[in-house]
Amino acid sequence: MRRKLIAGNWKMNGSLVANQDLIGAVGAGLPVAHCAVALCVPSPYLAQAQALLAGSGIDVGAQDLSCHESGAFTGEISAAMLREFGVRYAIVGHSERRQFHRESDAEVAQKAQRALAAGITPIVCIGETLAEREAGQTEAVVKRQLAAVIHTNGHCISEIVLAYEPVWAIGTGKTASPQQAQQVHAVLRSQLAAASEHADRIGILYGGSMNAVNAANLLGQPDIDGGLIGGASLKAADFLAIISAAA
Ligand code: PEP
């Protein structure tokens, strides 16, 4: 059985003082029998998160990594560097990076490969825009995005975590209904099954305005194995409520 994962994506938020308070409150309120939990923090705070989360049962995550191994790539951060800070997960292909940094399916697939080679589990984000959904292209879009990751990563695909994040639901307060999300997750599950005999161990998270109120219904779906949480991960009480709904 797949263990649920709740991963917080702080995006470009935080400060040394605020992080200490937030991590302290999340650690203090963690339910005894909890699911896997990770916090994907901005890179400058990795050392702080590593120190504060040591022994807490909460893993450290990054929000991106370079598709290159090392060298003349100013501003980039390699998978090996992240690993030195105890990073267990790295988000790749978040829609904000696909949209604002023009990341292609191929680049996202390479990032997943770099992460896996360094012993980091990539949380690979895929999802359709509102225009694509309204044009009836949801399945085609997510299948194309996932196909690139399968193509590049071959049998290692069973080591990734996938996150279905409809772009129209991210940070908007509009959540996919549990049925809408489950429908896409089931499509993704069969695509993974066709690519790997170990597909049933791949966690597929839902992300997009998941909160303390809607988490239980979403997480109750058979193919929803956790959540990638943006806004609600910045408030300890909300994040803890989602963890409780998953535990
Ligand atoms: C995200 O950034 O991955 C996300 C799901 O954000 P939010 O929960 O704020 O919609």
| Dist. CA 218 → ligand 1 center (Å) | 14
Q: CATH code at 111? A: 3.20.20.70
pLDDT of 200-216, one tens digit each? 999 999 999 999 999 99
In order along the chain (247 residues), what is the average pLDDT of each group of 10 residues?
Answer: 94 98 97 92 98 96 98 98 98 97 98 98 98 97 98 96 97 93 98 95 97 97 98 98 95
CA distance 94 to 124: 7
Q: What SS3 class is residue 209?
A: coil
Q: Is residue 71 part of a domain?
A: no
Instruction: List the residue whose alpha carbon is closest to atom 1 of ligand 1.
Output: 230
Q: Which amino acids bring their CB within 6 angstroms of ligand 1? A: 9, 11, 165, 170-171, 207-210, 228-232
Q: What value does the mean pLDDT of the chain take?
A: 97
Tally of domains in the chain? 1
Burial of 28 (C-beta count, 10 Å sphere; 0-12/13-18/19+):
exposed
Point out the residues that are catalytic: 94, 165
Q: Is residue 156 part of a domain?
A: yes
Q: Partners of 215 in the beta sheet?
A: none
H-helix or E-strand spanning residue 150: helix 138-153
Q: Is residue 177 part of a domain?
A: yes
**Which domain does 221 fall in, by range?**
5-66+77-246
Q: Is residue 188 part of a domain?
A: yes
pTM: 0.97
